[in-house]
Amino acid sequence: MLLAPRPLTLGQYATAVGAPKRWVQNAHAVLGLGAVYTPEEARRLAFARLLKQACGMPLVAAYPLAAPSLAGWPGRRTWVLERQTGAAAVAVDLERFLSDCNIRLSLARSWYAERRRGRPPKARRRGVAWAKWYGVDVTLLQESLKRTPAERLRALDANLDFLKSLRFTGR
Amino acid sequence: MTLLGMVRGLVEADVRLVVIGGVAANAHGSARITDDLDVCYDPEDGNRRRLAMTLAAWGAYLRGVEPGLPFVMDERALRTTPVMTLITAQGSIDVMDRVLGVGGFADVLQDSEEVEVGDLRFRVLSLAGLIRAKRAARRRKDLDQLPELEALLELSRRPRPLKPPETTPPARA
């Protein structure tokens, strides 16, 4: 069964659009979009932002062009906005644009997890005492330090191989 | 392929890089198992091109994104988005041209140490650098690793117990 992808948080959405959070919130207010943040919406808003930046088109005029333009890929590789005179005002390489959007979306989902808010807690303990209090098995670290970095890295690869074999044979 | 195999592939492709993240932490003694390789690369044009070509040859695709969506893995993609989280035929890899809390590639390189595994030589971010990076990132998974790294730093700075001097057995009378 396929699960529907989780909606994005505001921070992830702004990363996917490639714009500051405040800009995204203002854009949603101007376009009357509400606070639903999805990858598709991020692509549309990124496209509208591109048109706004490239040729100064107002967001309310650029946004309605986004959905039909992006739907043209993969049949059409380039989307061209023509002026009334027939001259091209802006040409968008759709594959490159969508690739850039997807890279930002990947970052938003896997790299830019929400940061811990506020001031970091003041550590009362440091070093080994803190690690013990936190639940780290310090004897493991002491054993590890007896080995060379090369031995540690080889052990990491061996452990990873073992874990992978467990994943493949697990039911 | 293994994590060391991925490092070897990049080094053999002449990509200038410093290994950071979980693999670097393991080199310093961390007991946590990681299944992805994090590297900080030199953003010089030629180096970026070699990295992009290697990743493209490994069939790199974006992690956390539905399969089949448009994605172009080339030098330009790395230039416009210097941080990428990728899954390849060889394994998962995160590439970036700077490390939060440490700085750009030059700073990362200066704060790195050489590791030798057989005939493979590469550089890993120092333990102090890793701690600064984890503190700056402030993600839950990074903060969770801090106590272990701080303990490793303290343990590695403690003077090692001296081996007892080898004594020659007293000569028989």
B4:A154 CB<8 A: yes
Residue A120: pLDDT band with limits 50, 70, 90: low
Backbone angles phi, psi at B37, to 5 degrees: -105, 130
A30: its two tokens:
């101007």
Statement to judge: residues A150 and A66 lie in one domain: no
Assigned fold of B3-145: Beta Polymerase; domain 2 (3.30.460)
Statement to judge: residues A142 and A103 lie in one domain: no
B84:A107 CB<8 A: yes
How far is Cα A83 from Cα B35, in angstroms, rounded to an integer? 51
Residue A88 lies in a domain: yes
How far is Cα A94 from Cα A50, in angstroms, rounded to an integer? 12
B26:A106 CB<8 A: no
Angle at B118 between CA B112 and CA B124, to 5 degrees: 15
Statement to judge: residues A72 and A132 lie in one domain: no
Beta strand B36-41 with B91-96: parallel, antiparallel or unpaired?
A: parallel
Share of chain A above pLDDT 90, in %: 34
Nearest CA to CA, how far is A152 from chain B (Å)?
Answer: 6
Q: What is the mean pLDDT of residues A21-40?
A: 91
Considering only the beta carbons, identify the residue of B5, B70, B141 that sits closest to A99: B70
How far is Cα B17 from Cα B41, in angstroms, rounded to an integer? 4
Statement to judge: residues A76 and A158 lie in one domain: no
Residue A36 lies in a domain: yes
A128:B151 CB<8 A: yes
Residue A115 lies in a domain: no
Is pLDDT at A2 greater than 50 in this prediction?
A: no
How far is Cα B61 from Cα B92, in angstroms, rounded to an integer? 10
- Spatial CA neighbour of B133 closest among B157, B112, B115: B112
B150:A159 CB<8 A: no
For residue range B16-59, list pLDDT tens digits in order: 999 999 999 999 999 998 989 999 999 999 999 999 999 999 99
B3:A156 CB<8 A: yes
Interface of A with B in 46-65 (CB under 8 A): none
A152: its two tokens:
């540690």
Domain count of chain A?
Answer: 2
Considering only the beta carbons, identify the residue of A103, A107, A109 that sits closest to B77: A103
Query: Half-sphere exposure of residue A169, counting CA atoms within 13 Å on the CB side?
Result: 6
Is pLDDT at B166 greater than 60 in this prediction?
A: no
Residue A150 lies in a domain: yes
How many other C-beta atoms lie within 10 A of the C-beta of residue B99? 25
Residue A5 lies in a domain: no
For residue range A150-165, list pLDDT tens digits in order: 999 999 999 888 887 8
ipTM of the complex: 0.83
Interface of A with B in 124-163 (CB under 8 A): 126-128, 130-134, 136-138, 140-142, 144-145, 149-150, 152-154, 156-157, 159-161, 163
Backbone angles phi, psi at B5, to 5 degrees: -65, -40
Return contacts of A69-73, CB within 8 angstroms, 24+ apart: A69/A94, A70/A43, A70/A44, A70/A94, A70/A98, A73/A98, A73/B70
Three-state secondary structure call for residue A84: coil
Nearest CA in chain A to B22: A156
Q: Does the N-terminal peptide bond of residue A74 adopt cis geometry, omega within 30 degrees of 0?
A: yes
Statement to judge: residues A28 and A100 lie in one domain: yes
A165 and chain B in contact, CB less than 8 A: no
DSSP state of B158: S
**Which residues form the domain of A159?**
128-165
In terms of pTM, does the model score above 0.80? yes
How far is Cα A79 from Cα A55, in angstroms, rounded to an integer? 14
- List chain B domain ranges: 3-145
Most confident of A130-134, B74-78, B161-165: B74-78
Residue A123 lies in a domain: no
Statement to judge: residues A138 and A63 lie in one domain: no
Statement to judge: residues A37 and A101 lie in one domain: yes
Q: What is the mean pLDDT of residues A77-92?
A: 76
Q: Is the dihedral of CA B41, B42, B44, B46 positive or negative?
A: negative
Residue B142: pLDDT band with limits 50, 70, 90: confident
Residue A133 lies in a domain: yes
